[in-house]
A and B are shown apart, each in its own frame.
Chain A
Amino acid sequence: AQSVAQPEDQVNVAEGNPLTVKCTYSVSGNPYLFWYVQYPNRGLQFLLKYITGDNLVKGSYGFEAEFNKSQTSFHLKKPSALVSDSALYFCAVIKAAGNKLTFGGGTRVLVKP
């Protein structure tokens, strides 16, 4: 079985401050990890993924995430948040040899001016 946990339902941050959205996973074997962002009444937009290689992954719109195998985490980060980053963020995992994404519950990010 595979699962993803996003422990925070909502994260509030002031514009210009660092943004972190937490994600931990549970999967047998090697995990493949993804972050997506969703704006109201829209589908999901891909931000970044970890398949193999460097633990620090850089993605779209200035986001990055660090794969930490010992802590089974894949936290999403942005050094300086923008108001336009306010959205719903999903972490997802897929196990090796699988093809089904399992999503976390989502974290709503609110960036205040």
Chain B
Amino acid sequence: GAVVSQHPSWVICKSGTSVKIECRSLDFQATTMFWYRQFPKQSLMLMATSNEGSKATYEQGVEKDKFLINHASLTLSTLTVTSAHPEDSSFYICSATPRGQGFVGGYTFGSGTRLTVV
């Protein structure tokens, strides 16, 4: 089945530094990937839609200059948290669906990245 690999699983960084999170589709191509943020004991909040070869589409209220998304290939999307601050600490999850299948194919999720900014 479709597998999405997310790396790193957890990261601790100092306030003011930047952190890059990778999301890879291992056995399928994905023209679209999605990035979510999850606060403790809360649901997933869609941050942005990552489109291969074009700019990401951000949800309302998400700072695009702070959360940089790059989808340079059909198997890789990256989320960079720039100038991270403690309030950016959260669990970040990506998801993807096989190219051409849309939602019918179901969305596969990465295992998530726990970001802690100190």
- A residues less than 8 Å from B107 (CB atoms): 34, 46, 101
- B45: nearest chain-A partner, CB-CB: A103
Given A32-B103, A34-B106: A99 touches B111 (CB 8 Å cut-off): no
Once the chains are docked, how many angstroms separate the CA of A43 from the CA of B110? 5
Given A101-B46, A103-B43: A41 touches B112 (CB 8 Å cut-off): yes
- B102: nearest chain-A partner, CB-CB: A99
B93 to chain A, nearest CB (A): 5
B29 contacts A by Cβ under 8 Å: no
Mark contacts of A13-47 with chain B using CB atoms, 8 A cut-off: 1 yes-contact digit, 0 otherwise: 00000000000000000001010100001111110
Assess whether A46 is in contact with B44, with CB atoms less than 8 Å apart.
Answer: no
- B residues less than 8 Å from A102 (CB atoms): 46
Assess whether B42 is in contact with A105, with CB atoms less than 8 Å apart.
Answer: yes
Once the chains are docked, how many angstroms separate the CA of A103 from the CA of B106? 14
A44 to chain B, nearest CB (A): 4
- A91: nearest chain-B partner, CB-CB: B43
B window 73-118: CB within 8 A of A = 91, 93, 95, 102-104, 106-112, 114
Assess whether B111 is in contact with A42, with CB atoms less than 8 Å apart.
Answer: yes
B32 contacts which of A41, A44, A51, A99 (Cβ < 8 Å)? A99
A window 98-112: CB within 8 A of B = 98-106
A94 contacts B by Cβ under 8 Å: yes
Assess whether B106 is in contact with A90, with CB atoms less than 8 Å apart.
Answer: no
Assess whether B109 is in contact with A104, with CB atoms less than 8 Å apart.
Answer: no
A window 56-108: CB within 8 A of B = 90, 94, 98-106
